[in-house]
Structures are given as C-alpha cells and as structure tokens.
Structure 1
Amino acid sequence: MIRFPSPRTRRFRVVSLAAAGLLLASVVTAPPSSASVAPQPASAGTVDTTNTIPGVDEIVSSPNLRLITNLPKQAPLDATNSDLAFQGRYAFAGNYNGFVVWDISRPSAPTVVASVFCPGSQNDISVHDDLLFLSTDSPRSDDSCNSTGLPATEKESWEGIKIFDIRDKANPRYIKSVETACGSHTHTLVPAKDNRSVYLYVSSYSPRAEFPDCQPPHDSISIVKVPLKKPTEAAVVATPNLFPDGGYEGVPGEKSATSGCHDITAYPQKDLAAGACMGDGILMDIRDREAPRVINRVRDTTNFAFWHSATFNNAGTKVVFTDELGGGGAATCNETVGPNRGADAIYDITGRGDNRTMVFRSYFKIPRTNADTENCVAHNGSLIPVLGRDIMVQAWYQGGVSVWDFTDSANPKEIAFWERGPISTEAPVGGGSWSAYYYNGYIYSNDIAKGFDVLKLTDWRTWTAELVRYRELNVQTQPRYLGW
C-alpha cells in the first residue's frame, strides 16, 4: 500500500537464540478456539465476470476456487490486516496493531495461538526458524510495543525493524530493534551464503526535507545483518545507493518519482532480486549479499503509476511487476481506468550475467468490473509451484483473489477467481485481500477488513503443486522448486 505524504506512515535454518535484553511485547492469550464464519458456497456454474457486480458482501467465484473458512479479526488486532508468512503448521499474519500466530494444521478450522499487540504500520512480516521480523513504517515515540504515534516531523521518533524470538509460538518474545532510515515499509529476508546469518533488505521511500529521519535524497535501501546465533547483535551493515542518477523523476499527481523502493523480491538460489521502486523496476545481482548491484532497469511511463512488488517464475526467466495505482485506496478495476493501468506487467529476462535485460511482454488485470466504491488494484501474490507452467495467485483488494497463468508471457489468462461483493455501495470503504499466497495445498488471504480467509483451488492445471511441501515460506524470499 502506498503511504501518502502527510502524515508519513511508513521475509531457512537457525540455531537457538541468545535471549539478551528482552523488549516488552503484549501477548494476548489465545482463546480455546476461533469462531469461524460458515463460507457461502462457490458458484456451481460459470459466473458472468464482466458485467455482474455482486451485492454487498456477496461471495462469487469460479467453480474451481472456493472458500473453506473465514476467521474475523479480533481486538486488539482489529486494525488493518497486512502481509503473511508461514512456517510448518503456522501462519503469521501482520496487522497494523501487531501480528497473529495461526495454527493451520487443520486449514478448515485454524486456531489462534497468539496475538501480539505491537503497533507500527505496516508490520510487514517474515519468519526464519526461531526468529520473526516486523517492519515499522510510522514514526513512534520509541521502539517498544507500548509506543505511541508521533508526527513525522518529530526529531526523536523511531522506525525500523523489530525482532522476536518465536521458539514458543504461544509466547513470542521481543528481543531486538534496529532503526533504519525512513523506517521500514517492507523488508525482504535473504539468507547469507554461509547460513550463519540472514540479511533484511529494507525498503522505504518518500523523503521530505521536514522529516528529520527521512531526508532527501533517499535512493537507497538499508541492509540489516542478523547473526543467527546472536540475533541481538543485528545491525545495519550497508545502505547501497541503487539510483545514483536519482531515478525516474515522475509526473506530479500521476506517476511516482523514484525515491527508494517499495518492495524487493529475492531469489537467493539464483543470486537475483527484483525491486519495485516507485518509478522504476530493477533487476539486481545479489551474489554479494551486502552489495547488491543493479544490472538492468525498466520504466513504464505510459501506464505504470507506482511500481509496488515483484514475482519471479520458477526458472528465473520472467518477472511480474505490479502497479499499485491509487495507493490501494482507489477504485481502479473499472471501465474508466481500463485493462492496462493498476495491472501486472510481465517481463521476460533475456541474456546472461550482467547482460541480462527485462523485456516487456504484456499486461494482466482481472477481467471483472468492480463497483466504484471498491478499492481494487494489483497487490501481493505468490507463485504456485506447478510443474511446467507459470501460475500465480494474487490479491486485488476488493477485487478479490485471482489465479492466473502467464506461461505464455504475451497472453496471460485468469484460470480461477474468488471475491466478495463491495463492503458498501453507498460510499468508498477500504478493504479486501491484502495478500493471497499458496502454501501447502491451500490459498491463504489476509483481508484488510474481513479477517483471515482460507481457500481451496481444485484445477487440473495446478494439481502438481499438491506434491510440494514447504517447511517455511516468506513469499518475497522466493524458493526454487527443484526438478520443476
């Protein structure tokens, strides 16, 4: 989600932690079970995806994608839901007020293991064995979970990374914070080559002269190194400048200028990363984890307004970038905006080594018209581990959840969808799926307003994904499916 100028708001193997200097976090004891809302049945036949707008909260879907269960948000974590991470039988769900640990061993009946109250939008989240990381991108009075919000102009405010010990999933412990320039809107977990550390590539943006902790120019990312045996020694080790020329200058009110990155997806096994950096899309060589190098850069000055996120195909020969037109708060899935704005852009990666380039092939956008009261735009998704095809699932806010095939880069097509009707038909109300990710046989969606959704995809084109089982999944740390 784009943050607006004022007020400024600002993801595989470890040993046991050295528990030095605990920082206070409030853990809300989980209830014995979590109440679920009985799902409405998926449409039995073909849904008119072009001209029919569902009624308020009415569920419509293609026959091959159905809701298994929905778990509403619970206080105090009843603020905006954000990103998701997974480990074993657990899902970790970010929320602007903290995070929830879900036991998803029974996908049809997830239960709350812990609710951790620790405000700090967006609380972008990742996990690595016994560690959990949260991004704070709103100025806070201090680095504790009892902090209060401050104006971005306040000199003594704090923003950055928070680190938790999650060996006991029912009682996460806050153990370390690391302050980063301009905060941490998102972060990407990149394992070190020797597996003794992990790196967090911290993305942040939108500097202003009146922001003491976010001064222009801000053309860099922060790299936090976390020693796995001593996570309390985590620290910023580099702030590489990715845009020495300043990046895209933008068009005021229409297209974002580059002033940092919004999100980075790393493909560690291929030493590649793709950065979605507001006005630019970049491809990076990350062989040296502390010194990533930009090897190719692309722009779309015709249709893209805000380069938001990226997804590689399994072969590492394609990358999908998303355009978050309207910052996630606007109705852009309508005839007025059309099919090429607020969409995905598919690029083929050609060449080798430093001669790799990204070549545009096509756009993809959901084919349904949404109501003008529904915020809808391309948002977070993940590759589905399918043999021989490039298929991903993706969140579109109130546009719902879409599964689409980009095996033919020039001719992508949707193969499944699920969505709720508008929250309101009277006035715009923000909501919908923030992140929709495939994990061990199911699709999990963190809905901004409606809570935690579990969906089941049943399609002949994706059955081979059922053979893949993750031990851990941070979507922005893209795994490779060996033999695929």
Structure 2
Amino acid sequence: MAKDMLTPDYARNVRILGHSDQGGRADGIQIMVSGGYAYVGHVFNNGFSVIDVRDAKNPKFVRHIPQPEGTWSQHIQTHGDIMIVNNMCDMLRVETSGAFDPGDYYKGSVADKVDITAGERPYSAGMRIYDISDRANPREIAFFEVPGLGVHRTFWDGGDWVYFSALPPGFSDDIFMIADFKNPEKPEIVSQLWLPGMNTAAGETPHWDQKYRYALHHAIVKGDLAAAAWRDGGMSLIDVSDRHNPRFISHDNPCPPFAGHTHNTLPLPGRGLMFVVEESQADNCEDGIKRNWVYDISVPENPVTIATTLPPDEIDYKSKGGQFGPHNVHENRSEGFQSEELMFVSYQNAGLRVYDISNPFRPEEVAACVPPAPDKLMDYRPNRPVVVDTTDVYVDKAGLIYTTDMNAGLTIMELEGL
C-alpha cells in the first residue's frame, strides 16, 4: 500500500482490519460477500471485481470482469451459487460528454435527457447472470435483456422472483418490475408498477414539480412486502403476494419540505418498523441535508415517521469537501448479518455509521469509522476533492463489516467495545 489505509481519520467502537485497492480499480458501489469472496461493482472502471476476503487482514484481488463498453454495472446481488449484475447506460459518461449539466442526472426525468427509443444502443441494457459455484471464477450463464435505459438496481435474496428498477420506453423514469427467476438462465418479466404520472406513453402527466426526480431506486422485499424508494417521490409499501399483480398499499413523501431522494427502504418486519435512508448527491450539502428516518409500519396502510438520526458532528463534514450524508444501509440479507436493532449506514465523507434503534423513537449512533482519504482519484470528473466517499456497506454473519468507496477501495472492519 502506498499509504497507511488501516489507520482511520476517526473511529469509535470500530477498528479497521484490512484494505484492498481492488487491483488498482479502487472505485466501488455495491458489495456482496459470499463464500469468502467479495464482489464489487465499479462506477468509473466498468465491470466488477472479485476479492478473496477469507483472510480479513489480507484481502487479495483475484480478477476484474468487464462489461460491455458504455455500460454501468455498479450493482450486484448474490445468493447461493448465483450472482446478478445490473447493466444500464453509463450516465456519468453521458454527463461528461456534455449531454447535460453535471449533477442533472439526479434532477427531473431521465427520459428527458437520454433517447432510449433510438435504434442501436451504445450500451447493454438488462441483467447478466453468473454462476459463482467457483467463487473465484464467476461464469456468465445468461443475459436478460430489458429494453430501454437498462436495469439500475435489483433485489434478489434467493427464491423464485427478482425485483428491479428499470426505465423501459414509454415511461418518464425507472419503475418497479418483477421477473420470474425460477430458471436463472431464462428470467421472464411478469409485472410492473409505477407512480401515477410516470406512464407517459399512456398519456399520464407528472403531478410533481419537474425539478424533482420521481424514479424507483429499488425496493427491498421481505416476505410479501416490498418497500420501494422513489428518490424525490418518497417511499411506497407494496403488496407482492401476487407477483403478477403487485399493488400499492400506501405511499409517503416528506419531500418537500425535506430534501428528498429516498434511496433505501429497509423493512424490519419483526418490529413493524422500517429504516429509510436518503442519498446525498451534491458537494457541501448543496442539495440539502439528507437524513435517515425510522417509520412505524405496523399498520402498512398508514406508515408514520417516528424519528430521525442526528448527522455526524465530530467535525464540520458539510465543509470537508465532497458529499456529506447517507448513501446505503446494510439490507439484512439472509446470508449475512441480520439485526432489527443495529443499522449500518455508509455516510460518504463521514465514513461508516452504526445506529442502535432498540428505542425506535430515539435512535443513537453507537459506532463510526472514517477511513483515510485515497492517494488518488478513480473519479475522472474535473475538480473532485480528494476525500473519503464511503458508498456501500455489507455485514457478514460473523459481524465483519465491508465498505466500498468511490475512490479508496475495499475496507474491512469490525465492531469493538459494544
């Protein structure tokens, strides 16, 4: 390592065990860990990487697997011996080509910015399915094409159904879709659902201010309940007991007056709660203060916000440079650590934050770790600050914590003192 990546800039009840620069491709978004191997989707370097993490103190880069040119593949799902990798238009490449102003991807309708009805696309749109029975050597077994801009993010935790967000022709932005996944080599779309106003092909018109982006980021599904994050459109609870005919149960949107961009909606069914994470997207909180919310969903028809977490404040993160605010939460996957009281949140320039919500009306930050800044940036956009940007978090059954960064690689941590 060119610098000490094991000494955090700040830590409380967490210590860093190991670090990997991911073979020189140190950018990462979503991470999955299975059978002693981590799979990291890239945002600047295309494709995904495989890292051997069986020795948490000495993770070893194994291989990089590219995706088609012009394609984003930053989101990954694993369960058992199967892995799903999203394929969609690389919107950062589109942005930096001058097609629209920096940051406009998060503002208004994406269908207004990219022509998804054009003939041959310069990117791949859909999902790539891999056999990972040999964990070090993923083998592609299928490509599931989804017409339009492509698949942004999937949720699949085993079973017969995969849930995903995608922008097909005729819609203003990403909608909720379900595919039959009984045969992973031949998925089949069985249903789709959207917020009223998104189906432009059917003559629907948006009822919201066009500066906002109403689009499904993804839904997290526990049993027959899907909790959907609609970016500036808030959140929905969806009954998916009939996968061919999902239906809205309820909807809530605190934006405005709050800053919006609902990103993760994690149901905690054993407690009738939901933990909601908003995404910070602009430097120095220029898009407002983003928050984590606790909802009571014991009556799904009437979800109620009952608490929010306090932003980290041991230094002035708003002025540190880069993005300050939440991004992702560990989603209590069946093959990983599960808790309805400890919430693990990636907090961009404020690193990792761990919240105890045993009292849901008074969530408390109980642990934190801010890894050191990278030596150099993977981000090719001009004038980016050289700061940590923790983007995702996964916790395995042993309690080891894996975080990714936009530029600083994979960091493996563990709780201590709790």
TM-score bracket for the superposition, by shorter chain length: 0.7 to 0.9
Is 1:438 matched with 2:395? yes
Alignment counterpart, residue 182 of structure 1, candidates 149, 166, 175: 149
Aligned to 2:125, what secondary structure does the other structure show? strand
Q: CA deviation at 1:176?
A: 1.4
Question: Would you say 1:331 and 2:292 are equivalent positions?
Answer: no
Q: Secondary structure at the match of 1:123?
A: coil
Are the aligned partners of 1:122 and 1:135 in contact in 2 as well (CA < 8 Å)?
yes
Q: Is 2:83–2:131's contact at 8 Å kept on the other side of the alignment?
A: yes
What's the secondary structure of 1:331's corresponding residue? Answer: helix
Match of 1:373 among 321, 332, 335: 321
Q: CA offset at residue 348 of structure 1?
A: 0.7
Are 1:311 and 2:259 an aligned pair? no
User: Which of the numbers 224, 227, 245 marks the counterpart of 2:182?
Assistant: 227
Superimposed CA distance per residue, residues 19-51 of structure 1 (whole angstroms, 9 cap, x where no aligned partner): xxxxxxxxxxxxxxxx69654446xxxxxxxxx
Confirm whether residue 284 of structure 1 aligns to residue 238 of structure 2: yes
Residue type of the partner of 1:128? H
Unaligned runs of 5+ in 2: 92-112, 199-204, 377-382
Q: 1:61 aligns with which of 11, 14, 21?
A: 11
Q: In structure 2, what residue type is equivalent to 1:155?
A: G
Which sections of structure 1, spanning at least 5 residues, go unmatched?
Answer: 1-34, 43-58, 141-150, 193-197, 206-212, 461-484
What is the one-letter code of the residue matched to 1:359? V
- C-alpha change, 1:187 and 1:101, in structure 2 (3 Å) is same
**Deviation string for 1:55-92 (max 9, x for gaps)?**
xxxx2111x111111111324x45x3110112222221
Helix, strand or coil for the counterpart of 2:185? helix
Q: Does 1:171 align with 2:137?
A: yes
User: 1:262 is matched with which residue?
Assistant: 217
Quickly say closer, same or farther: Cα 1:72–1:421, change in 2 above 3 A: closer
* Gap change, CA 1:217 and 1:386, over 3 Å in 2: closer
| Residue type at the aligned position of 1:454 | I
Letter of the aligned partner of 2:249 in structure 1?
I
Mapped to 2, the partners of 1:73 and 1:204 lie a distance apart of 28
Identical-pair percentage: 21
Q: Answer yes or no: is 1:95 the counterpart of 2:35.
A: no
Deviation at 1:204, TM superposition (A): 3.1
- Take 1:296 and 1:377, find their aligned partners in 2: how far apart are those partners? 27
| CA 1:183–1:457: 2 relative to 1, 3 Å | same
Alignment of structure 1 residues 399-414 onto 2, 5 Å: 399-414=350-365
- The equivalent of 2:105 in structure 1 is none
Alignment partners' CA distance in 2, 1:421 and 1:251: 39
Which one has a bigger Cα radius of gyration?
A: 1
Q: Separation in 1 of the partners of 2:7 and 2:86?
A: 37
Is 2:194 the counterpart of 1:242?
yes
Question: What TM-score do the two structures reach when normalised by structure 2?
Answer: 0.78
What residue identity is the alignment partner of 1:298?
D
Report how far residue 202 of structure 1 moved.
Answer: 1.5
What SS does structure 1 have at the residue aligned with 2:74? Answer: strand
8 Å contact from structure 1 (residues 223, 236) kept in 2: yes
Query: Which SS does the other structure have where 1:379 is aligned?
Result: strand
CA distance in structure 2 between the aligned counterparts of 1:166 and 1:249, rounded to whole angstroms: 44
Whichever residue aligns with residue 318 of structure 1, its letter is: L
Are 2:79 and 1:124 equivalent residues in the alignment?
A: no
Structure-2 separation of matches of 1:456 and 1:415: 13
| Per-residue deviation, 1:122 | 3.8
Contact 2:352 2:368 in 1 (8 A): yes
Return the offset for 1:386. Answer: 7.2
SS in 1 for 2:193: coil
Q: Deviations over 1:417-455 (max 9, x none)?
A: 11146669x963575111012212211001110100001
> Given residue 428 of structure 1, which amino acid in structure 2 is its aligned partner?
P
Letter in 2 for 1:310: T
1:190 and 1:167 mapped to 2: Cα distance?
16
CA contact (8 A) 2:239 2:249 kept: yes
Partner residue of 1:155 out of 119, 130, 138: 119
For 1:76-87, what aligned pairs fall within 5 Å after superposition?
A: 77-78=25-26, 80-87=27-34
User: Aligned-residue CA RMSD in angstroms?
Assistant: 2.9
Q: Write the letter of the residue equivalent to 1:380.
A: N
Q: Which amino acid aligns with 2:11?
A: S
Match of 1:346 in 2: 294
> Which letter does structure 2 place at the counterpart of 1:189?
W
Amino acid in structure 1 at the alignment position of 2:294: I
Counterpart Cα distance in 2 of 1:191 and 1:172: 17
Look up the match of 2:225. 272
Q: Indicate whether 1:72 and 2:21 are aligned.
A: yes
Q: Would the alpha carbon gap of residues 429 and 112 (structure 1) be closer, same or farther in structure 2, given more than 3 Å must change?
A: closer
Deviations 1:193-227 (A, max 9, x none): xxxxx32211135xxxxxxx543345732222223
CA distance in structure 1 between the partners assigned to 2:75 and 2:42 by the alignment: 8
Output the CA distance in 2 between the equivalents of 1:289 and 1:408: 34
Structure 2: how far apart are the matches of 1:420 and 1:202? Answer: 31
Match of 2:330, as an amino acid? Answer: S
Query: What is the distance in 2 between the residues matched to 1:383 and 1:235?
Result: 25
- Are 2:273 and 2:295, in contact at CA under 8 Å, matched by a contact in 1? yes
Measure, in 1, the Cα distance between the counterparts of 2:338 and 2:245: 32
Residues 221, 182 of structure 1: alpha-carbon distance in 2 compared, 3 angstrom cutoff: farther
Matched position secondary structure for 1:186: strand
Partners of 2:348 and 2:17 lie apart in 1 by 19
Which of the residues 367, 370, 384 maps onto 1:416? 367
Q: How many residues align?
A: 365
